Structure 1
C-alpha cells in the first residue's frame, strides 16, 4: 500500500492539501478525488482514512502499527466501508445499505469513513440517494468519492464535496517508482514512455507478452535495415502471430515509434535520454547514416499507420505498406 513518502514524490499537491486539513483540524465531510486512471486515488483514499482512524497519528501521518492501521491494511476495519460497482454500476440498494450504516455509531472510534470507488458509475437513483447524505452531513462521518470521469458526477454532488485533483505522474517519477518496485531499468524507462499510468506501467513491465513484444519489434527494425523481402517475411511470421488484437498492434507501433525517436536522440547527441539504452551501440552507425528529415518522415508514417489502424484498415495490409514506407 502507498505510504506518505511515496505520495510526496508522486502527488505532492494532494499530500499538502490533505496534511494541511488534518493539521488545522478542518477535515471536510466529503471529498471528491478526481483524475486519470493510475494516479493512485484509491491508495490515497485508504491512506487518508488510515490517518484519520489511527490511534497514534503524528502530524497527520498514520503510525502503521496500531490496531486500526493494521486492520485497514488487512481490509477489515468495521468503521471503513468501501463501495464499488456491482457489475457495471453502483446501485441504489448499495447506497441504501450504506445509509443504514450512517445511523450506527462507530465501532472502533467516533468516526466512520465511506469510500465510493468509480462514483461516476452510480445509477441516477443511487446518486440521488447519496446526495441526501451529503446534504445532511454528520460530524462523525466522512465520504471520499473517487472518479476518473468527473463530468459524469452530478453537479449537486460536486458542489457538496471538496475536490482534489490528481495529476498524471511525470515520466521521471514514474520510472523511479518502477525501479523501486524492482523493475529492470530497460523496462522501467520503456514503460514510463508508453504510459503515465502507474498501474498500467507495472502491468506492462511484468507481462511476459510485452517482454516478447519488445524483442520482436527490435528484430523487425533490425530486419528493416537489410531488405524489404526479409521484413515482409518477418511481418507474416513472428509479428502477426504475436500481435493479433488491434490494441496489441497499436502497442507494437508505439514501440516502433520510440525506436525512431531514439535514433533522432542519437543524432542530436542526447544519448542520456534513450528509451532503448541497451541498443545504443547497435544503432549509432544507423542513426548517423540517415538524414533527420528521413527519420521525421518515418515517424510520421508510423503515426499515420496508427490513425489507419483506428479507422479499421486491414492490419496486415497496413503493416506491409508501413514496411515499404520505412524502407523508402
Structure 2
C-alpha cells in the first residue's frame, strides 16, 4: 500500500482519520496503530512519515519519487528512526540511544519521526523511558507505535497516543489480492487461513519447504487410509525429519487439522468451508467413505491435544508418536 486511496480499501476508517489530520495540519504527536499482522501497520507508518518529509507533498499522498520518499522506503532517512525488538523485547539501551539521537538537530529539518515496531515488547524500563517523549511532546516530533497485542501496552502510553484500530483483512479481499499475484484459488484460500500477512502468504506459496509440508500431510492421510500399520514408520522417516523447527511443527499440525476438517465438511456437505482439499479430490472422497464423522471428530481432538503439548514443550517426536497412535485407533 503506497497511497492513502489504497489504504482506504483495506482500512477505510483509519485512512479517513489520519488523512483528515494531515489536511488540517493536525498530525498527532503520537500514534498507536494496533491490529493483527498484515493489517497494514508498517505501510501506514511509512505513509505518515513520507507525508511529513515529502519534498513534493500534495497535501494528501506523498509523491513517492523524491529523495525523501525513496530514503524513507529504504530505511535510510536520517530523521526517521526505526526501533525494533532486540531478540524478544525492546530494551532500555535502545530507547537511551533514541533519546541521545533526539538531542541533535535534524540533519535536514527540525522534524523527527520515530517508529516503534512491536511496541508491546517494550520492557518495563524501556516503556517508562519512552514516556518522556510522550509526556513532553514537541510539534516537530512524531511517534508512531505499532502493535499486534494492544492489551500489552501500558495504559500510561495508550493515554498519550491517538489510538488507531486496524480491522482484520476480509478473507475474500485477501484471497482476491493473492489471486491477482498469480496464486490459484485453492492456494489463496489456504494461505488466507494460515496468515493475514500478504508478503508472508506470497513467500509461503513459493516456498519449496511448504510445498513439501502439504505433500506430507496428504501422504499421512493416505497412509492412515491404506496402511495404518505403517503410519508410525512414516512419521519417523518423513514427518519428524522435515518438521524440525517449532514453528514448522505447529504449521504441520495446522495443515493436518485443515485436512481432517475438510473430510468432515465433505461428510456434512459443507464444501464452502474447505481450505486444504479441492471438493473434487479423490482422496477426499475416499477418506469420507472410510472415516466416520465420530472418527474424524476424535482425530481433530487428538491433533488439538498435540498442538497443546507442543506449546507445553513436550518433545515433538513424542507428540507425533502419541498422535499417530490415537489416529490409528
Number of aligned pairs?
Answer: 325
Q: Is the counterpart of residue 31 in structure 1 residue 31 in structure 2?
A: yes
8 Å contact from structure 2 (residues 260, 299) kept in 1: yes
Of stretches 36-45 and 258-267 in structure 1, the one that deviates more from structure 2 is 36-45
Q: 1:319 to 1:86 in 2, by over 3 A?
A: closer
8 Å contact from structure 2 (residues 92, 129) kept in 1: no
Q: Aligned-pair distance for 1:294?
A: 3.0
Q: Is the counterpart of residue 95 in structure 1 residue 132 in structure 2?
A: no
Query: 2:258 aligns to what?
Result: 258
Separation of aligned partners in 2, 1:307 and 1:152: 23
Q: Aligned-pair distance for 1:148?
A: 3.4
Q: Aligned-pair distance for 1:45?
A: 0.4
CA RMSD of aligned residues (A): 3.0
Q: Aligned-pair distance for 1:125?
A: 5.1
Separation of aligned partners in 1, 2:86 and 2:298: 48
8 Å contact from structure 2 (residues 92, 125) kept in 1: no
1:193-232 matches, cutoff 5 A: 193-232=193-232
Aligned to 1:142, the other structure's residue is in SS state strand
Separation of aligned partners in 2, 1:142 and 1:245: 39
Separation of aligned partners in 2, 1:318 and 1:77: 48
Q: Aligned-pair distance for 1:279?
A: 6.7
Separation of aligned partners in 2, 1:120 and 1:304: 29
Q: Deviations over 1:136-168 (max 9, x none)?
A: 322222221223344444433322111112333
1:123-138 matches, cutoff 5 A: 124=124, 126-138=126-138
1:142-157 matches, cutoff 5 A: 142-157=142-157
Q: Deviations over 1:217-245 (max 9, x none)?
A: 11110111112223232122112221234
8 Å contact from structure 1 (residues 34, 148) kept in 2: yes
Q: Aligned-pair distance for 1:185?
A: 4.1
Q: Aligned-pair distance for 1:64?
A: 1.9
Q: Deviations over 1:21-48 (max 9, x none)?
A: 2233322111122233443322220112
Of stretches 187-196 and 307-316 in structure 1, the one that deviates more from structure 2 is 307-316
Q: Is the counterpart of residue 19 in structure 1 residue 19 in structure 2?
A: yes
Runs of 4+ in 1 over 6 A off after TM superposition: none
Stretches of structure 2 that go unaligned for 5 or more consecutive residues are none
1:288-299 matches, cutoff 5 A: 288=289, 290-299=291-300
Q: Deviations over 1:241-266 (max 9, x none)?
A: 21234443322221111112112232
Query: 2:236 aligns to what?
Result: 236
Aligned to 2:64, the other structure's residue is in SS state coil
Of stretches 295-304 and 217-226 in structure 1, the one that deviates more from structure 2 is 295-304
8 Å contact from structure 1 (residues 95, 126) kept in 2: no
Q: Aligned-pair distance for 1:73?
A: 2.2
Q: 1:157 to 1:114 in 2, by over 3 A?
A: same
Q: 1:156 to 1:201 in 2, by over 3 A?
A: same
Query: 1:302 aligns to what?
Result: 303
